[in-house]
Structure 1
Amino acid sequence: MASHVLLIRQDIATPWWFILRAFVGAAYVGFVALRLLAYLWLCLPRMPKGDLRRRYGEWAVVTGPTSGIGRAMALELARHGLNLVLVGRDPAILRQISDTIASLSELIVVNNAGVAEPGAVYLHEADVEAWARMVRVNVSAVTEVTAAVLPGMVARGRGGAVVNIGSAASESIPSLPVYTMYSSTKRYVAQFSRSLHVEYASKGIHVQCQAPFLVDTRLMFRFEEAAGGVSLFTVTPDAYARAAVAWIGRGGALCTPGVRHQLLRRMAADVPDSVHDWILLHLTTWNRKRRFSGSE
């Protein structure tokens, strides 16, 4: 008995919505990959010694240079051949030296001075003067020093650089409970820097806010402390300063120098605000209880 096999071929068209989703997905992956490569390009290469001096002049002014990021930034700028003016974070001292700074038209200014205390407290628990002092150092001093140097930079006609040290606490997370005033003052620094960058870019003046995550300093709020462990994303002040100086004039109006901090920023961006708020509220209030356990 003969057997017959009948083959029937059907051309099944791929649905248009599947093609559209595949295209959008591929485009998104390509966009993320390009951004990551751009960040890595900024992070990995080292700026040749002398580049900052040739571009911005012989002088650098660093506020808050006695420890942490300020000290490390001052040392790194010195390694690049710049002469330094080191200024304490006391607003009165900053005002006294403003005339001297203004006379230096060819320079880089690093506004690093800042305070984080009172910290781990609700707004009603600290007196108004304590909050006013934080605003004077974190907001007013940054404004006064920047306002003092800009006229000389404009008159010079060759530009300059102002680097304001902000915080990821105001840029990469939606809230920071019981550290509200600190994160709010750093938000001012970011908006101040962004707007000035737009205003003065045409004059060759690069205003930049650097917003680091975890740096092993006394000032920086440390999430690994709240979590009771050591974070793989924490960097030393020296490591941060090397990345930060390499980004001057290259990282845009708002940046987060360093590969590890960039990765943390990208991960934070993918978490919904409501999840951020819930996690941070529990971490910071738990850390607050532990910090004040002896007095509560």
Structure 2
Amino acid sequence: MEQFFIFVGVLVCLAYLVKCMRFAKCIFLHFWKVSPRSFLQSMGQWAVITGAGDGIGKAYSFELAKHGLNVVLISRTVKKLQAIATEIEQTTGRSVKIVQADFTKDDIYEHIQENLKGLEIGILVNNVGMLPNLLPTYFLDTPDEIQSLIHCNMTSVIKMTQLILKQMESRRKGLILNISSGTALFPWPLYSLYAASKAFMCTFSKALQVEYRAKGIIIQVLTPYGISTPMTKHININIITKSADEFVQESLNYVTNGDENCGCLAHEILAGFLHLIPSWVFYSSACQSFLLNQYTDYLKQNIHTK
């Protein structure tokens, strides 16, 4: 028994050592500001970004174009895509292709596939998503958009990955970034539906990485917390809440740093802190009451519409 407990202790120490090394690497990459330009360009000529009309998707579109890739912008609103495409072409000189698609529907993928024919796609950013309730809300009180959320947050990831992964597999290179959420890391009461959909993305991404990493393909899931975007009603930026541009610029430094990360150092620290809270505390009635009251008040004071 003594040898067994020594063995278990060694395994625990090794596990924490790996976590510390991963965190140290995040700190190094945060301050070193490694430019991934050559690496990103080596993946292929084109990057495809879903939900490119706003927020994180728009920021990835500009950033990847600045790194020398042509970009395919996919979103629902054509006018937004046209304006973004014009600005990208004028500021970066890269080629831009736009595809109109409503990801709350499930009959759009043949149309998308037709528009992607003939393109050497090296990067896919599965960013599109919807948040039914920014304020903490009980499941039965959330808007009745369940099917739309499933299509947008889950079906889109499966279908877009299926379309593009085939080409990446034949070329034996590619990068897929799946934008999940910090709420995916453990169950979040009062955000139950959204958190569950993002947890699916996490599990799906990490399983695929095991299947395809030997074929030269990187599949990474990002689990950020607060990002100021139209979906979060432009919540005020602070040391934790990042702008979409800040988050995207930093996240690209971590594209080779494991199959999952938060995308920025501040959120890695926050995630580490939250994991120290015992589950019985987090799921207690007092904590849920805090979320429903103090956290709701904080959100109301810090969000605004443009």
TM bucket normalised to smaller: 0.7 to 0.9
User: Are 2:50 and 2:57, in contact at CA under 8 Å, matched by a contact in 1?
Assistant: yes
Equivalent-residue separation in structure 1 for 2:157 and 2:198 (angstroms): 11
Amino acid at match of 2:269: L
User: Are 1:69 and 1:237, in contact at CA under 8 Å, matched by a contact in 2?
Assistant: yes
Structure 1: gaps of 5 or more residues: 1-19
Specify the alignment match of 1:252 in structure 2: 258
User: What TM-score, normalized to structure 1?
Assistant: 0.77
Instruction: Give the one of 177, 184, 187 matched to 1:170.
Output: 184
Equivalent-residue separation in structure 2 for 1:109 and 1:155 (angstroms): 15
Matched, 1:238 2:250: no
**Shift in alpha-carbon separation, 1:288–1:239, aligned structure 2, 3 A:** closer
Equivalent-residue separation in structure 1 for 2:42 and 2:216 (angstroms): 10
Q: Secondary structure at the match of 2:184?
A: helix
Instruction: Give the one of 197, 200, 203 matched to 1:191.
Output: 203
Q: Secondary structure at the match of 1:206?
A: strand
Q: How does 1:252-271 map to 2 (within 5 A)?
A: 252-271=258-277
Structure 2: gaps of 5 or more residues: 1-5, 77-101, 301-306
Equivalent-residue separation in structure 2 for 1:291 and 1:35 (angstroms): 32
Specify the alignment match of 1:15 in structure 2: none
User: Are 1:94 and 1:141, in contact at CA under 8 Å, matched by a contact in 2?
Assistant: no
Equivalent-residue separation in structure 1 for 2:180 and 2:124 (angstroms): 14
Moved >4 Å (runs of 4+): 287-292
Equivalent-residue separation in structure 2 for 1:39 and 1:104 (angstroms): 33
Instruction: Give the one of 168, 191, 198 matched to 1:153.
Output: 168
Specify the alignment match of 2:53 in structure 1: 66
Specify the alignment match of 1:181 in structure 2: 193
Give the superposition deviation at 1:230: 7.3
User: What TM-score, normalized to structure 2?
Assistant: 0.75
Equivalent-residue separation in structure 1 for 2:280 and 2:230 (angstroms): 29
User: Are 1:215 and 1:240, in contact at CA under 8 Å, matched by a contact in 2?
Assistant: yes
Amino acid at match of 1:210: L
**Structure 1 stretch 111-120 or stretch 191-200: which is displaced more?**
111-120
Matched, 1:208 2:220: yes
Equivalent-residue separation in structure 2 for 1:230 and 1:83 (angstroms): 30
Q: How many residues align?
A: 259
Equivalent-residue separation in structure 2 for 1:47 and 1:99 (angstroms): 36
Q: Secondary structure at the match of 1:44?
A: helix
Equivalent-residue separation in structure 2 for 1:189 and 1:232 (angstroms): 26
State, as a whole percentage, how many aligned pairs show the same letter. 26
Which has the higher Rg, Structure 1 or Structure 2?
1
Equivalent-residue separation in structure 2 for 1:291 and 1:242 (angstroms): 25
**Shift in alpha-carbon separation, 1:124–1:231, aligned structure 2, 3 A:** same
Give the superposition deviation at 1:180: 0.7
